[in-house]
Amino acid sequence: MVDENILIIGAGASGLMAARELAREGRRVTVLEAKEKTGGRILDIPASGSTIPFMLGAEFIHGNAELTFELLKEAGIEFSNISGKSYFSRDGKLEDYGSDQEFWPEFNEKLDLLTEDITLTEFLDRYFKEEQHKELRESVIRFAEGYDAADANRVSVLSLKKEWEQDDQEHQYRVEGGYSKLIEHLENECLDAGVVIVTGKVVSHFNWSRGFVEAITIDGERYAARKVIITIPLGVLQIKDGSAGAVNFTPPLPIRMGAVRAMGFGSVIKVVLEFDQCFWPEDAGFIFSNEIIPVWWTQNPSPSKVLTGWLAGPSVEKLKDKPESELIEIALDALSKIFELDSKLLGAGLKHAHACNWTNNPFSRGAYTYTTVEEPNAAAVLGNAVQETLYFAGEGIYHGPQIGTVEAALMSGREAARRVLSGY
Ligand SMILES: Cc1cc2nc3c(=O)[nH]c(=O)nc-3n(C[C@H](O)[C@H](O)[C@H](O)COP(=O)(O)OP(=O)(O)OC[C@H]3O[C@@H](n4cnc5c(N)ncnc54)[C@H](O)[C@@H]3O)c2cc1C
């Protein structure tokens, strides 16, 4: 018998947002989540004696994230501006990072002239191939890889333009207590409205026809409904048929899965280290370098003694099979070079350490989405419901400049719920 339920697969920001919107309108909703806990790529670990948790997933609010702010306000969760100066470490010496930014006007000038979409590498080869532009090339690629987790050989340069134009580096915030406070709020709202959240359920197959869908889990359970919103990350949907972790559809969805494969899904390793004392400049915000873990940041303006390391994009490949303990060693070694300090001494002052390789996480398989030149409209293709029955949502299925963020996930979840409600 077909249940009147609406199914949602995935209890990250997108799935919980969709569930709440539907339940508020009186729909019966069941959420199936692969992990034992909700939050997905929002993953905070409480830090004893500190109000700031160790944030292994999302951490910042980037610029004008309207829906995020709206939800934080309604939940009474505070957020604060991040602060601090940016440094670049060269040969163990910290320099003002400002000098590295001088190239951007020239880069943007050329970008403004571009009418056709090409990859970032093609763009740099076309306009900045000469030796005199070496630093510009390095700087731009570092930003695309570090910030967007993108592969310069695939990413659409026009999509970067759109995103970077909107990006407001001056207005970056952190949620007090971490983004998991927002997840808690959404989850509580869902539960209060009668949503059933079932954790530990890994969906591997969907049987569907118009007005009917059955989600089958790897332990053989079947959940039937009239409609489903699928918020499984693109990294998981990209797993090839027949490989472990793949998600299949009967009948198949060649157009939607073609769009999934055409989208970029970057890699990231995030390392969070707490020391017994600060050995970095008090005013430091971000510290960039050419070390293997190249980007580091402090918790400024908080006096916390936590440093966070970040490696994103294709360079993650070099470290992809390293266990957490080795990643922490590598991170300490990178820090010892950045600050010209003995890595053994740094290790002795280490109080807590976490390293998370999101590419190895079976339920994310990477960091977040970027737009490629292969199919710039892939997000729109995926955003179209299949026969008013299958709806895709999540950070990658979002049409604005905030692609890849918590805001994108929330917006996409709300949009999918609205589509379900209005039947288009
Ligand atoms: C290290 C890192 C740092 C980030 N930093 C920021 C930041 O500072 N600011 C920002 O805005 N964004 C950041 N992001 C991006 C942000 O975390 C994501 O865009 C957002 O959380 C995605 O939400 P989602 O609901 O679309 O997907 P997810 O949060 O991934 O939720 C999808 C859910 O589906 C579940 N799932 C997967 N497969 C299955 C299956 N087969 N069956 C059932 N369930 C399944 C997963 O377990 C997961 O809970 C960061 C991401 C990472 C990885």
Mutate to test the pocket of ligand 1, among 368, 369, 370, 403 (most ligand atoms within 8 A of CB): 368
Q: Is 311 in the pocket of ligand 1 (CB under 6 A)?
A: no
Q: Whose CA is nearest to atom 35 of ligand 1?
A: 10
Select from 3.90.660.10, 3.30.390.50, 3.10.450.50, 3.40.50.2300 the CATH code of 79-175+267-367: 3.90.660.10
pLDDT at 170: 72
Confidence label for 342 from pLDDT (cuts 50, 70 and 90): very high
pLDDT at 2: 40
Ligand 1 atom at shortest distance from the alpha carbon of 404: 19
Q: pLDDT of 132-155, one tens digit each?
A: 999 899 989 998 999 999 999 999
Tokens of 191: 């539960």
pTM for the model stands at 0.96
The mean pLDDT value of the chain amounts to: 94
CA of 160 to the centre of ligand 1 (A): 21
Q: Whose CA is nearest to atom 13 of ligand 1?
A: 58
Q: Is 5 in the pocket of ligand 1 (CB under 6 A)?
A: no
CA of 213 to the centre of ligand 1 (A): 24
pLDDT at 382: 95
Query: Once rounded to an integer, what is the mean pLDDT over residues 380-405?
Result: 93
Mutate to test the pocket of ligand 1, among 203, 363, 397, 412 (most ligand atoms within 8 A of CB): 363
**Does the structure show a pLDDT above 60 at 74?**
yes
Tokens of 328: 């922490």
Task: Measure the CA dihedral 282/285/290/295, to 10°.
Answer: 130
- With a CB cutoff of 8 Å and minimum separation 6, the contacts of 406 are 13, 42, 58, 61, 65, 68, 179, 182, 395
Tokens of 369: 């989405």
> In sequence order, which ranges of 224-376 are alpha helices (DSSP H)?
234-237, 254-262, 324-338, 343-348
Q: pLDDT of 171-203, one tens digit each?
A: 899 999 999 999 999 999 999 999 999 999 999
Q: Is 367 in the pocket of ligand 1 (CB under 6 A)?
A: yes
Ligand 1 atom at shortest distance from the alpha carbon of 204: 41
Q: Cβ distance 278 to 305 under 8 Å?
A: yes
pLDDT at 219: 95
CA of 233 to the centre of ligand 1 (A): 7
Query: What is the Cα–Cα distance from 403 to 291, expressed in whole angstroms?
Result: 27
Domain residue extents for the chain: 6-42+178-261+372-422, 79-175+267-367
Q: Is 33 in the pocket of ligand 1 (CB under 6 A)?
A: yes
pLDDT at 230: 98
Greater model confidence, 102 or 175: 175
- Expressed in percent and rounded to 5, the helix, strand and coil fractions of the chain are 35, 25, 40
pLDDT at 103: 80
Q: Tokens 């592969």 — which residue?
A: 151
CA of 113 to the centre of ligand 1 (A): 35
Q: pLDDT of 36-50, one tens digit each?
A: 999 999 999 998 777
Please tell me if the domain spanning 6-42+178-261+372-422 has the same topology as the one spanning 79-175+267-367. Answer: no
pLDDT at 112: 92
Q: pLDDT of 312-329, one tens digit each?
A: 999 999 999 999 999 999
Q: pLDDT of 207-264, one tens digit each?
A: 999 999 999 999 999 999 999 999 999 999 999 999 999 999 999 999 999 999 999 9
Confidence label for 334 from pLDDT (cuts 50, 70 and 90): very high
pLDDT at 403: 85
Give the H/E segment covering residue 423.
none
Three-class SS state of 293: coil
Q: pLDDT of 278-316, one tens digit each?
A: 999 999 999 999 999 999 999 999 999 999 999 999 999
Q: pLDDT of 77-90, one tens digit each?
A: 999 999 999 999 98
CATH architecture of 6-42+178-261+372-422: 3-Layer(bba) Sandwich (3.50)
**Does the structure show a pLDDT above 70 at 1?**
no
Greater model confidence, 51 or 250: 250
Q: Whose CA is nearest to atom 20 of ligand 1?
A: 406
**Does the structure show a pLDDT above 90 at 400?**
no
CA of 74 to the centre of ligand 1 (A): 22
